[in-house]
Amino acid sequence: MALSPFQTQLQACIRAALALTGLDLGIIYFVYDGALGNNAGLQAVKQTGLRLICKLRHDSVLYFPYAGPYAGKGKPRKYGGKLTGETLKAGHLRSTSTEKSIKTQVYQASVWHKNFPELLNVVVIVKTNLKTGLCAKVLLFSDDLALASKTLIAYYSLRFQIEFNFRDAKQ
């Protein structure tokens, strides 16, 4: 897969940063905003030996792995049902909390995206305003299928803290 000039430059920056920090830190994850929420971005990061934690578009179409029987001919089916608010099961729910009339539900599932060649570990954060009924969702993902939802959210959240600290240091 051909990388864009931005992805090639980012890859060089990642490699330079890894060379500066050395191997003693044991860096595993690269956290980035939605600009790398695509297959080319994932492949660019994977080529550096790191795993990606990133955000997908809120309207991304995701599919559960097909769990039905093999039809007996041809290639086995890959895609099952679409991931929607209705198809998320209680088994996918990782936490629920309510704060100031905002209910937050966190779900996690391994799913397919048609533009990615491998399963993705997706965390769906659904925030519902209990007064108005309005709902918003955020899709975070990683190529590390074993990464817990709590850890994935914590790492992604740290990205903003680092940006704020960097901005404050520049001022």
Q: What's the pLDDT at 120?
A: 96
The reported pLDDT for the residue numbered 71 is 79
- Which pLDDT does position 168 carry in this prediction? 59
Bridge partner residues of 127 (DSSP) = 104, 136
Task: Count the alpha carbons within 13 Å of 106 in the hemisphere toward its beta carbon.
Answer: 15
Cα–Cα distance, 87 to 107 (Å, whole number): 11
* Per-residue pLDDT reduced to its tens digit, 20-66: 876 667 788 989 887 778 888 899 899 999 999 999 998 899 999 99
Among 80, 82, 105, smallest CA distance to 94 is for 105
121 neighbors 139 (Cβ within 8 angstroms): no
Q: Give the span between the Cα atoms of 4 and 87, in whole angstroms.
A: 35
Weakest-pLDDT range from 16-25, 66-75, 132-141, 146-155: 16-25
pTM for the model: 0.85
In this prediction, residue 26 carries a pLDDT of: 79
Give the relative orientation of helices 5-21 and 39-46 as an angle to the nearest 10 degrees. Answer: 30
> Which residues partner with 111 through β-bridges?
120
Residue scoring higher pLDDT (84 or 145): 145
Instruction: Look up the domain containing 149 and give its range.
Output: 5-170
When divided into structural domains, the chain yields a total of 1
